[in-house]
Chains A and B, each alone.
Chain A
Amino acid sequence: QVTLKESGPGILQPSQTLSLTCTFSGFSLSTYGMGVGWIRQPSGKGLEWLANIWWDDDKYYNPSLKNRLTISKDTSNNQAFLKITNVDTADTATYYCARIDWGIPFAYWGQGTLVTVSS
């Protein structure tokens, strides 16, 4: 059974760095073709893709976030991570991680974690 669960700080202040963790089970990020992506959704709005990381440590980022993103993984502990630097109120959203199945993005999703940026 594939499960993913996101965790984060809940609330942070503008200009801080947001650190998110995706803890998963039912698959390994060392398996050929597997990947994890991060997607966010402001309340009542649409979805925005942020970044992907693959089994071979290949990474892709959404350029709209202007080099603020860093994605990484810990294969041994079945975790993926996303950092967003210099956050602003516009970064307030629910953040999801999702599995990529060899060319099929986001076949399985976590429940999401709400992050609020507020002073």
Chain B
Amino acid sequence: DIQMTQSPSFLSASVGDRVTINCKASQNINRYLNWYQQKLGEAPKLLIYNANSLQTGIPSRFSGSGSGTDFTLTISSLQPEDVATYFCLQHNSWPYTFGAGTKLELK
């Protein structure tokens, strides 16, 4: 199985900050990496698919980059509504595997 190592596990930032979250795959997954946002008590929401494609309806302050084994989710200017846990998912190989999550809170 491909292991997805997500960092940091916990992140505290201020409104307006630029925030980056990383996922590292244990082997090459090309660009088959999605990012999801999960707010407390809610289902996950797709933000970015295939490493850098913004899902319809997602604010442009969210962006994704990377290929191969190293990927980054960036929030260009943190907003209060971005408080959530963020997960990555690799869908290059079976079984699909998720990162352990990054919990983002406001400072």
Contact = CB atoms under 8 A, between A and B. Distances in A.
Interface of A: 37, 46-49, 52, 60-64, 96, 103-112
B42 to A, nearest CB: 8
Contacts of A60: 94-95
A104 B43 contact: no
**For the complex of A and B, 6 pairs with smallest distance between CB atoms:** A109-B43, A49-B96, A47-B98, A62-B95, A104-B49, A105-B91
A12 B98 CA distance: 27
Contacts of A107: 46, 49, 55
A46 B49 contact: no
B43 A110 contact: yes
B50 interface: yes
A42 B55 CA distance: 26
A44 to B, nearest CB: 10
B100 A106 contact: no
A49 B4 CA distance: 13
Nearest to B99: A46
13 contacts: A46-B87, A46-B99, A47-B87, A47-B98, A49-B97, A62-B95, A63-B95, A64-B1, A105-B96, A106-B36, A106-B44, A107-B49, A110-B43
Given A104-B50, A109-B43, A111-B43, 4 more contacts: A61-B95, A96-B44, A104-B34, A106-B44
B61 interface: no
Nearest to A112: B43
B101 interface: yes
A18 B97 CA distance: 22
A46 B95 contact: no
Contacts of B42: 111
Given A60-B94, A64-B95, A109 B44 contact: yes
Contacts of A62: 95-96
Interface string B39-63: 0001111100110000100000000
A1 to B, nearest CB: 12
